[in-house]
Amino acid sequence: MKRIFGILFALALVVNLGLALAAPVLADISPGWTNITQVAAGQEYTVGLKSDGTAVAKGYNNFGQCNVGGWSNITQIAAGAAHTVGLKSDGTTIAVGYNYYGQCDVGSWSGIIQIAAGWGHTLGLESDGTAVAKGYNGTVVEIGGRNYASGGGQLDVGSWTNITQVAAGWGHTVGLKSDGTVVAVGGNPSGQCHVSGWTNITQVSAGAGHTVGLKSDGTVVAVGDNYYGQCNVGSWSGIIQIAAGWWYTVGLKSDGTVVAVGDNYHGQCTVGDWTSVTQVAAGWRHTVGRKNDSTVIAVGSMVIETVTNGIVDAKAGAATEVAVAGTTTVTVFRYDSNPHPGALILYGALASLELLADEPWVPVGKFRDVSVIDTVPGTEIEIRLYYTNAEVTAAGLNESSLRLFWWNSTAWVHCSDGGVNTASIYGYSGYMWARIRANTTPSLSDLQGTEFGGYGHPGTPPDGDCFIATAVYGSDTAGEIGILREFRDEVLLPNSLGARFVSLYYKASPPIANFISQYQALRTVVRVGFVDPIVKVLTWTHALWSAKGS
């Protein structure tokens, strides 16, 4: 009914002030990530070790890889693709998650001093310098179009001796020896196991198809797949810890800052502003850092969390929240740039009316990816993309015109139920929002990894004193204006046609209002013959379209 009224009155309604749309506020949920002593990053999840020997985890939990709530006396953690391993203070090990290849069958291990987890295998370093391994020992064929098919044998560590550290990659295994040399077994199609010439190594790390070594002088070496530049670490210095992600590499410097090279499609290498970091971990497409106050920061595929009537908070690294009414598992990624530059931009169902606008839609420069799975029927989510005045000014946009657009596989399309909240909050100037249900565009079923971006029209907001309703009533506090504002906020702005009308009205009305305000007779004619009838009709039908109606 509201949409019908929005269409009927959109071409006649007179609105007078800018808008501030409020979204439903749901209970916040705290991940409890304090007192962290170590972090580990898996394929789409993150694990933290707490100072009391317990562990926390958040992210995809489709195989139970985040079920670490009952762990105790843990001294070290490791995260694989979908399994998590913990080393206990007595030298035994525990594991949860995907166990198809037996990678979690480590309950019989003892005398372990260090652990590592790869795609489908788990490694343990024994106190006598030997290594043990469980899991998949065959060929890993392909990862995201990159070929890593070769041989297998990543579990063949039985002959290793004098090992001081082990590292597990996608399909290869690396061991650091006490003399600073390195050994490696497993798939080697990109040369990731060509480490026999390395010397003076103090730490090793293994990615999808590359291997990284930290030297005693704080420099770094790397071999293997370099398609994304993940091995371009030759200029690094002052490094005290390394972490190899799937297709990228991270280095922690002695001053607590962080460097990264390689694939940055999801912003996982955007760590240049990090400070006071004491440990880093690299996953598939997200990077995690432990700070010297035992808190955690992250970039990339920011938050993967199962929520019931709560908020997935990704503001720290992605300036995004996803409010959930119901239950679903939410994933938030951050793109470093427009994932579809130059693509067509359409205003939802009104694409054909875009020709009426003489100003284009311009990106704010903020792009995110949101996915929801395991959704309970009736669930509704609201995506909130926060912005600052500096970002809006830099893009040259009218703040009141900001809207969220989604990628429908061929074009950027306006979300059917969305708007902008221009009230400052959490240190931001406001946020663009889109409510998504089973019957919206996009719908919940569309969100299987869907890109969103902020767009707006160039220009500045019109002067609030120049609107027609204010001109004819002589005051912006006239009682009649209240119902016009209510109709605008409750009926027009939540749908595409109404929002387009409001946007065009804001552009066209100031000179008309200025002209009307100069002539008392004209003000009377417009009020009696045009505005008053609209107000009367809206008043009579108030109960039909207003949420406040009886």
**Tens digit of pLDDT for each residue in 130-181?**
999 999 998 765 555 455 545 689 999 999 999 999 999 989 999 999 999 9
**Range 255-263 average pLDDT:** 97
- Identify which of 39-48, 298-307, 486-495, 511-520 has the greatest average pLDDT: 39-48
Q: Is residue 334 part of a domain?
A: yes
285 and 313 in a single domain? The answer is: no
pTM confidence score: 0.64
User: How much is the pLDDT for 192?
Assistant: 95
Domain that holds residue 429: 303-456
pLDDT at position 181: 98
pLDDT tens track for 282-310: 998 889 999 999 999 888 765 567 789 99
Distance between CA atoms of residues 283 and 285, nearest Å: 6
453, 363 in Cβ contact below 8 A?
A: yes
Q: Which residue has the higher pLDDT, 473 or 18?
A: 473
Judge if 43 and 183 occupy the same domain: yes
**What pLDDT is stored for residue 513 in this prediction?**
73
Range with top average pLDDT, 41-55, 130-144, 365-379, 498-512: 41-55
Would residue 336 count as lying in a domain? Answer: yes
Q: Are residues 94 and 217 in the same domain?
A: yes
Answer whether residue 1 is part of any domain.
no
Q: Please check whether residues 410 and 379 belong to one and the same domain.
A: yes
The yes-or-no verdict on residue 14 having pLDDT over 50 is no
Report the first-to-last Cα separation within the chain, whole angstroms: 15
* Within a domain: 333: yes
The residues, ordered by sequence, that sit 6+ positions from 167 with a Cβ below 8 Å of its Cβ are: 116, 123, 173, 174, 175, 176, 204, 205, 206, 211, 244
Residue 171 lies in a domain: yes
Q: What is the pLDDT of residues 19-75, one digit of tens each?
A: 222 222 211 223 458 899 999 999 888 999 999 999 999 877 878 999 999 999 999
pLDDT score of 3: 44
- CA 381: distance to chain centroid? 15
Are 53 and 196 part of one and the same domain?
yes
* Residue 238, pLDDT score: 98
So what's the pLDDT on residue 7?
Answer: 39
Residues 6+ apart with CB under 8 A from 176: 163, 164, 165, 166, 167, 182, 201, 202, 203, 204, 213
Q: What confidence category does residue 492 fall into, taking pLDDT thresholds of 50, 70 and 90? A: confident
What's the CA gap between 137 and 151, in Å, rounded?
9
Residue 68 to residue 55: CA distance in whole angstroms: 6
Strands annotated E in 317-447: 320-335, 345-346, 362-373, 380-387, 403-407, 412-414, 418-421, 430-436
Buried-state track 343-368, b at ≥16 Cβ within 10 A, e below 16: eebbbbeeeeebeeeeeebbbbebbb
Helix, strand or coil for residue 294? coil
The span from the CA of 410 to the CA of 13, in Å, is 34
Check whether 503 has a pLDDT greater than 80: no
Structural domain count, the chain? 3
- Shared-domain flag, residues 418 and 529: no
Considering only CA atoms, which of 96, 91, 97, 98 is closest in space to residue 74?
91
Mean pLDDT calculated for residue range 397-406: 90
Q: Answer yes or no: is 24 within a domain.
A: no
pLDDT value of position 532 = 85
pLDDT-above-70 percentage for the chain: 82
For 2-11, 160-169, 413-422, 477-486, which range has the lowest pLDDT when averaged over its residues? 2-11
* CB < 8 Å & 24+ apart, contacts of 151-155: 151/186, 151/187, 151/188, 152/186, 152/187, 153/185, 153/186, 153/187, 154/118, 154/121, 154/185, 154/186, 154/187, 155/121
Based on the fold, state whether residues 441 and 483 are members of the same structural domain: no
Same domain (yes/no): 80, 227: yes
Residue range 523-535, pLDDT digits in tens: 888 888 888 888 8
Residue where a domain terminates, one of 268, 290, 312: 290
Distance of CA 246 to the CA centre of its chain: 18
Range ranked top by mean pLDDT from 29-43, 436-450, 480-494: 436-450
The pLDDT tens digits of the residues spanning 202-246 come to 999 999 999 999 999 999 999 999 999 999 999 999 999 999 999
Tokens of 343: 């693509």
| Same domain, residue pair 124 and 263 | yes
**Residue 30 falls inside a structural domain:** no
Mark which of 456, 479, 506 sits at the end of a domain: 456
Are 530 and 392 in the same domain?
no
Lowest mean pLDDT, pick from 167-171, 195-199, 512-516, 540-544: 512-516
Domain membership flag for residue 401: yes
For residue 546, the model assigns a pLDDT of 72
Cβ count near 409 (within 10 Å): 9
Instruction: Return the number of other C-beta atoms located less than 10 Å from residue 445's C-beta.
Output: 10
Alpha-carbon distance 304 to 47, whole Å?
12
Residue 216, number of CB atoms within 10 A of its CB:
11
Query: Are 399 and 467 in the same domain?
Result: no
**Is there a single domain that holds both residue 250 and residue 118?**
yes
Do 470 and 513 contact (CB within 8 A), yes or no? Answer: yes
Q: Which of 411, 431, 456 is the last residue in one of the domains?
A: 456
Confidence of residue 484 (pLDDT cuts 50, 70, 90): confident
Mean pLDDT of the chain: 83
Distance between CA atoms of residues 135 and 62, nearest Å: 19
